[in-house]
Amino acid sequence: MSSKSKTPVAVTSRSFAKHPVLRAELLECYENVSFNQTGKILSGEDLVSFLRGHTKVISGLEIFDSVVLSQLPELKIISKYGVGLDMLDLRAMQKQGILLGWTPGVNRRSVAELTLVFALLLVHQAHIAHAELLEGKWKPRSGNLLTGKTVGIIGCGNVGKDLVQLLKPFGCKILVYDIVEYPEFYALHAIIPMDLETLLKKSDLVSLHIPLNETTTDFLNDKKLSFLKPSAYLINTSRGKIVDEVALKNQLKAGKLAGAAFDVFSIEPPEDPELIRLPNFYCTPHIGGSAEEAILAMGRAAIEGLDHAKNPESYEYCLK
């Protein structure tokens, strides 16, 4: 831009709003910007009140449903800071003529690296050894190697593909389940596509990398979790509601699953202390995309999205 735009922009994302570099870069393009500095995720009337009078918004974890959107007739563009679209009612946006700025996969390396950390931590039982050491117990544990294990990847999109690359030095056998086929990628990396049940039964470690939508809520329920081997591990760095957390807790407590590591929960912060305190469960507070490099990439993509938004129907697969 040769000069700053006077278009009113709101930034609801707390992470973006407090980041000095992203704030400065946005203010180089727009002079009329309102930042959410409450430290809270805005919702309902608070969100509507904050957004009134703004034409464009950079959103984070706020829920933009039909009720909120219907009260914002002046809103024309929502640019997403991050990659998850489950907070946005795309159909309502489409009906109201609101465009979407979105760059999928912009934080894929950050999420893939955390997934790899989880995988190594679980198989070596480092999380359990650490907890025991904090309790004053010196109990050296003999875990397993990740090298040579069979890894099942559910969802081979941006993060799933990046995880495949990170696993190469470990010589893992890679199994994949996805509703989209990537035959060239599978052939290039000796990946074996298969049905979900078979993948769950054969994998030593399963990692989830699918979006949350109507078809993936409780995707791994009690029945599907029961297909996993008692010696297997489950990793979720995608979205919490994809896994039935009550069923997962029961499987872990009963020893029907060796362990799990989650970065995401159905409700955040999680409200089930029994689950997060299980010795064979490891968790982090949704930090998958929070590497500094990923934050900058997501923020810059969101700024770009303010001027290069598209009709939500352009992302038809997300509307299913």
Non-local CB neighbours of 49 within 8 Å, separated by 6+ positions: none
- Please answer whether residues 99 and 254 qualify as being in contact, where contact means their C-beta atoms are separated by less than 8 angstroms: no
| b (16+ CB within 10 A) / e for 195-230 | ebeebbebbbbbbbbbbbbeebeebbeeebbebbbe
Confirm whether 239 is a catalytic residue: yes
CA distance 8 to 196: 47
Active-site entry in 19, 108, 209, 239:
239
**H-only helix segments in 193-291:** 196-202, 222-225, 245-253, 273-276
Amino acid at site 68: V
- Please answer whether residues 11 and 35 qualify as being in contact, where contact means their C-beta atoms are separated by less than 8 angstroms: yes
E-strand spans in 242-304? 259-262, 281-283
Confirm whether 286 is a catalytic residue: yes
Active-site entry in 23, 52, 124, 286:
286
Active-site entry in 268, 271, 292, 293:
268
CA distance 298 to 145: 34
- Please answer whether residues 41 and 61 qualify as being in contact, where contact means their C-beta atoms are separated by less than 8 angstroms: yes
CA distance 145 to 123: 6
Catalytic positions: 239, 268, 286
